[in-house]
Structure 1
Amino acid sequence: MTKGSPSLSHVPQHVAIIMDGNGRWAREQGLSRLAGHQKGSEVARDIIRAAADAGVGYITLFAFSSENWRRDPDEVTGLMALLKHYLETEVETLHQEGVKLRIIGERHLLPNNILALIEDAEAKTRTNKKIELIMALSYGSRAEIVNAAREMAQKVRDRRLEPEDITEEALSAHLYTSDVPDPDLLIRTSGEQRISNYLLWQLAYTEFVFVNKYWPNFTPQDFLEAIEVYHGRERRYGTAA
């Protein structure tokens, strides 16, 4: 694979990432799981910058799934504290670097103090144009689709939508990512090869790249190499070969 930055013609418009392997990395280092998540947040900072520099328009990071609420309460508390620290310390840098921040997921499940920080961060960065960072927090794709279906059902009940107007485009318009292009590329680290209830609708024609490295070991060069792999794919969108 070619080293260095890809040309702009190679670059996917939207990259989604499953940042997997923090806990296993920490265990192998003899560290706590929370230390793995801390290291993972530092890597995320570098990858966001690499994506922006490469010309990617949108990057979506799977930061905390709806299933993660079922983890050990001490780990969840630590993750919320880490998220709070990230929002308090990183948003100004994101803003200065032209990053627009958006959070998708079931916000009502997040603590009120974090919700307030999220709203402030989104307001502060709303007009930034270099790259849009979408963080999936308390996110599960099946719940997102159910919520979209429920909204459309209510519109049918209220006679604001006809059943025959329920199309793929209509459902897409009710998702959290309604105004965002579907991902061109999905990267998952740690060697696992599944999508874990992440952007199920949006990934219909996405190219997948699975990387056999834990997220804390993932580098900007690995990110650029994943883009090179993407560039070598022939995207058919369901058409014949």
Structure 2
Amino acid sequence: MKNTTEPIGRGLLYNLYQKRLRRALTPEMMPHHVGMIIDGNRRWAKQLGYETAAHGHRAGAAKMREFLTWCDDLGIEVVTLYLLSSDNLAHRASDEIDALIEIIADLADDVSRFRDWRIKHVGNSGCLPEQLTQVLEAAERRTDGKNGLHINLAVGYGGRTEIVDAMREIVREHELEGRSLEELADMLTPDMIGEHLYTGGQPDPDLVIRTSGEQRLSDFMLWQSAHSEFYFVEALGPDLREVDFLRAIRDYVGRSRRFGG
């Protein structure tokens, strides 16, 4: 059904502008890995008069499936969606978290059955309900071996905890090999730590996008985003448009990336 609230002329101009943006982007320009911090779902629900934040989280989840198709259609190889932080689990009301966990489970199951996408859970499974962990594990198994868009679902995720977990794993492995702490200190490198992160073996994000106008990382991929480009969109999560995404990619393409400079 056509959205009759938008004048036909405006919709036509929007479509033409969107097509022009897409045509200007070529495969070699694309970031390999895009991180998305979906934010503003609760405000979206409140502004529209919904009684609970769950309406906003559902709309945000639907938008994330749409966002993944935009990325896939442009040839982006890896996308990480920040869906639920460990801080959210600790500080949000239990009824909101219960609804959000159900929504995330539905999203994980949905995207694992769509196209040839490959799903990986990144986060601390120990802080998640068993039912959600089972859904995430099933999504990984179902998509194992697929060669399409690689999707990291960051659920129960915290960047600082990820680094601590990586260091713990390195120390355990070193201890099992019977080596001393002095030897570990001499061997330790950024590459070694990177290999033990939840995203070990993946490219670091080239571009991190955040919706809702907030300009902070909120403990998202702190190690991996050391040299990432950042783009902040004013739109609330469920209101994100493809043209907003294409503008973010265009902005990324126009930047001169400096690694440490």
Which TM-score band (shorter chain)? over 0.9
Q: Is the 8 A contact 1:14 1:183 kept in 2?
A: yes
Distance 1:160 1:65 in 2: 36
Q: Is the 8 A contact 2:61 2:104 kept in 1?
A: no
Say yes or no: does 1:79 pair with 2:137.
no
Q: Is the 8 A contact 2:85 2:155 kept in 1?
A: yes
Residues 18-75 of structure 1: CA distance to partner in whole angstroms, max 9, x if unpaired? 0010001111111121000000011001110010000000000000000111200100
Shift of 1:82: 1.4
Q: Which secondary structure state, in structure 2, belongs to the residue aligned with residue 195 of structure 1?
A: coil
Distance 2:57 2:213 in 1: 18
Say yes or no: does 1:127 pair with 2:145.
yes
Instruction: Give the 5 Å matches for 1:108-147.
Output: 108-147=126-165
Instruction: Give the 5 Å matches for 1:1-241.
Output: 3-5=21-23, 6-31=25-50, 32-69=52-89, 70-93=91-114, 97-159=115-177, 162-163=183-184, 164-239=186-261
Instruction: Look up the equivalent residue of 1:119 and give its one-letter code.
Output: E
Residues 163-202 of structure 1: CA distance to partner in whole angstroms, max 9, x if unpaired? 2111011111110011110000000110010000000000
Q: Which secondary structure state, in structure 1, belongs to the residue aligned with residue 224 of structure 2?
A: coil
Distance 1:87 1:169 in 2: 30
Identity of aligned pairs, percent? 35
Instruction: Look up the equivalent residue of 1:7 and give its one-letter code.
Output: T
Q: Is the 8 A contact 1:103 1:118 kept in 2?
A: yes
Q: Which secondary structure state, in structure 1, belongs to the residue aligned with residue 22 of structure 2?
A: coil
**TM-score in terms of structure 1 length:** 0.93
Count of paired positions:
236
Distance 2:119 2:246 in 1: 22
Distance 1:22 1:72 in 2: 15
Higher RCO (C-alpha 8 Å, min separation 6) = 1
Q: Which secondary structure state, in structure 1, belongs to the residue aligned with residue 121 of structure 2?
A: strand
Higher Rg of the two aligned structures = 2
Q: Which secondary structure state, in structure 1, belongs to the residue aligned with residue 225 of structure 2?
A: coil
Q: Which secondary structure state, in structure 1, belongs to the residue aligned with residue 45 of structure 2?
A: helix
Q: Could you list the runs of 5+ residues in structure 2 that have no partner in the other structure? A: 1-16
Partner of 2:11: none
Distance 2:105 2:28 in 1: 37
CA RMSD across the alignment: 1.5
Distance 1:34 1:118 in 2: 20
Distance 2:178 2:59 in 1: 48
Q: Could you list the runs of 5+ residues in structure 1 that have no partner in the other structure? A: none
Q: Is the 8 A contact 1:14 1:57 kept in 2?
A: yes
Shift of 1:9: 1.6
Shift of 1:207: 0.4
Distance 1:233 1:151 in 2: 37
Instruction: Look up the equivalent residue of 1:170 and give its one-letter code.
Output: M
Residues 199-236 of structure 1: CA distance to partner in whole angstroms, max 9, x if unpaired? 00000000001111101110222111111000000012
Q: Is the 8 A contact 1:10 1:228 kept in 2?
A: no
**TM-score in terms of structure 2 length:** 0.86
Distance 2:240 2:192 in 1: 37
Distance 1:101 1:166 in 2: 30
